[in-house]
């Protein structure tokens, strides 16, 4: 019962993001449906998990298209609550965010935003070419002792809309806008080499944010330029110093500084050199950390905060992998990308579609319908993302209660002792009968189920078990 009560306390923090009580009530019902679902992820499965029938389906489906709230506002409030949590991980007293993009395969020919994409990955299970949606994601690091999670804050569909979308720009620029919108001043964003760009560093400096990233081995930087005293020569004033290739600055391991840092769950010895040079701005220097691992691998890291040490930059970049684990859990455990929403007014796309453009003959309502359908996609995804973040918070806050109600046995458990998101979800599902079978007047979920299904109390048996079937 204490797990259910704590979960509803967290959801109550998001109440101001909804303008209508009914919309918030359906948010609670769908959130519980995601957490207690035993079937393939879908709106019908969420209702079946709570014992709600066909009469509630249209109302639940309408929630994804309702104009009574915006998912950006809900996620922004969710991010503020996470940032104030005592488990929020900090570097030099500042919050640490991780960001990346994910490509999701979609075969729907009447789905706005579906386009042909190419992906580079060493994972043989991922196709080189696919058609689908591209989401940009930002997550906040949560930690306690040796356990660390990347709690999703917001996922946005950032590609495939073309002239339909109001915000134009590259994927890098849109990620920078996402970080500036959600991250408080002074925070660190750990991003991949794809986002190491002037289009990110510029907005970050204006917003007071810091970037930690990796750069290409072929990166060229510049030393500082000091003009000679005396009369200035004719022509354009020089701004940059000498041109330097970072790859040429690597020294033998024996001549490098060394440190032991935690990388990917293991304590490893790394060797590094630190240089403060100019890259994108002749007036601002960046910290470049030339890193060499014990196996001989070389990487070049970047930090816009010059006060960090080389070991701190290396360890911080290792945290970026946490968002990859978040994507895997969101995809495989909760099925957060299993939405199936179609736009009837849309012309079927080609087998290898390009970004959706708005034809000149199409009326303005068509654009409104497209943006509303994209909002429905994002609501489905972020509903599961918030559920995943809640599972992570419960793991760090109430680990003993989770283990106490865990009904099954796993041969492999986390070495840090805190339950995984799957363990927390199984514990919540195991408590469903004990909590909902009796009248729990203080539990909002029980009250909502009684309103939606007044003829029967909460299910006395799991809703996925069907008995007394008649031929």
pLDDT per position as a tens digit, 143-192: 998 899 999 999 999 887 766 555 568 889 999 999 999 999 999 999 99
CA distance 449 to 426: 21
What's the N-to-C CA distance of the chain in angstroms?
39
The pTM (predicted TM-score) of the whole model is 0.90
Question: What percent of the chain shows pLDDT beyond 90?
Answer: 61
Q: Given this model, what pLDDT does residue 167 score?
A: 59
What is the mean pLDDT of the segment spanning 92-115? 90
Q: Given this model, what pLDDT does residue 344 score?
A: 84
CA distance 201 to 461: 55
| Residue of higher predicted confidence among 390 and 453 | 390
Answer whether 193's CB lies under 8 Å from 214's CB.
yes
CA distance 266 to 321: 13
- In the predicted model, is pLDDT for residue 18 greater than 50? yes
Closest CA to 393 of 368, 418, 375: 418
Q: Given this model, what pLDDT does residue 63 score?
A: 95
Residue 90: in which H helix or E strand, if any?
Answer: strand 90-91
| Residue of higher predicted confidence among 213 and 366 | 213
- Domain 71-223+240-365, what architecture? Alpha-Beta Complex (3.90)
Distance of CA 412 to the CA centre of its chain: 26
Find where tokens 């990347």 sit: 150
- In the predicted model, is pLDDT for residue 432 greater than 70? yes
Radius of gyration of the chain (CA): 25
SS3 state of residue 199: helix
- In the predicted model, is pLDDT for residue 292 greater than 60? yes
Q: Given this model, what pLDDT does residue 117 score?
A: 83
Q: Which residues contact 122 (CB under 8 A, 6 or more apart)?
A: none
Average pLDDT, the chain: 87
pLDDT interval class at 461 (50, 70, 90): very low
Catalogue the E-assigned strands of 232-284.
Answer: 243-245, 257-263, 266-278
CA distance 28 to 470: 34
Span 322-372, pLDDT tens digits: 999 999 999 999 999 999 998 887 878 777 777 766 655 455 788 888 889
Find where tokens 């789905």 sit: 111
Question: What does the block give as tokens for 272?
Answer: 């590094």
């Amino acid at each position: 019962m204490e797990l259910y009560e704590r979960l509803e306390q967290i959801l109550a923090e998001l109440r101001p993001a909804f303008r209508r009580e009914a919309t918030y009530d359906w948010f609670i019902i769908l959130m519980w449906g995601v957490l207690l679902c035993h079937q393939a992820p879908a709106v019908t499965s969420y209702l079946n998990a709570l014992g709600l029938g066909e009469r509630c389906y249209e109302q639940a489906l309408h929630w994804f298209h309702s104009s009574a709230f915006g998912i950006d506002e809900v996620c922004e409030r969710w991010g503020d609550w996470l940032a104030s949590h005592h488990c929020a991980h900090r570097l030099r007293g500042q919050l640490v965010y991780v960001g990346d993009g994910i490509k999701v395969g979609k075969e729907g020919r009447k789905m706005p935003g579906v386009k042909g994409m190419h992906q580079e990955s060493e994972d043989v299970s991922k196709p080189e070419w696919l058609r689908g949606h591209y989401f940009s994601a930002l997550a906040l690091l949560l930690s306690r002792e040796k356990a660390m999670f990347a709690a999703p804050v917001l996922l946005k569909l950032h590609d495939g809309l073309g002239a339909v979308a109001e915000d134009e720009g590259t994927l890098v620029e849109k990620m920078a806008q996402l970080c500036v919108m959600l991250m408080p001043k002074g925070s660190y964003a750990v991003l991949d080499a794809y986002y190491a760009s002037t289009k990110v560093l510029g907005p970050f400096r204006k917003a007071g944010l810091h970037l930690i990233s990796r750069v290409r081995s072929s990166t060229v930087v510049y030393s500082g330029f000091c003009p000679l005293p005396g009369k200035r020569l004719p022509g354009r004033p020089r701004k940059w110093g000498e041109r330097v290739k970072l790859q040429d600055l690597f020294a033998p391991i024996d001549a490098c500084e060394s440190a032991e840092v935690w990388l990917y769950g293991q304590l490893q010895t790394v060797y590094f050199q630190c240089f403060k040079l100019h890259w994108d701005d002749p007036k601002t220097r960046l910290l470049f950390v030339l890193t060499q691992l014990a196996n001989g691998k070389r990487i070049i890291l970047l930090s816009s905060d010059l006060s960090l040490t080389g070991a701190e930059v290396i360890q911080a970049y290792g945290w970026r992998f946490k968002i990859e684990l978040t994507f895997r859990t969101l995809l495989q455990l909760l099925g957060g990308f299993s939405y199936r929403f179609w736009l009837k007014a849309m012309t079927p796309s080609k087998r290898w579609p390009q970004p959706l453009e708005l034809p000149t003959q199409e009326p303005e309502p068509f654009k409104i319908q497209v943006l509303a359908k994209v909002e429905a996609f994002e609501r489905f995804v972020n509903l599961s993302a918030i559920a995943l973040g809640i599972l992570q918070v419960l793991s760090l806050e109430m680990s003993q209660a989770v283990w106490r109600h865990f009904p099954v046995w796993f041969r492999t458990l986390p070495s840090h002792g805190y339950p995984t998101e799957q363990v927390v979800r199984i514990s919540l599902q195991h408590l469903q009968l004990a909590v909902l079978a009796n009248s729990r007047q203080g539990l909002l979920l029980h009250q909502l189920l009684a309103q939606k299904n007044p003829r029967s109390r909460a299910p006395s048996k799991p809703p996925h078990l069907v008995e007394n079937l008649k031929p």
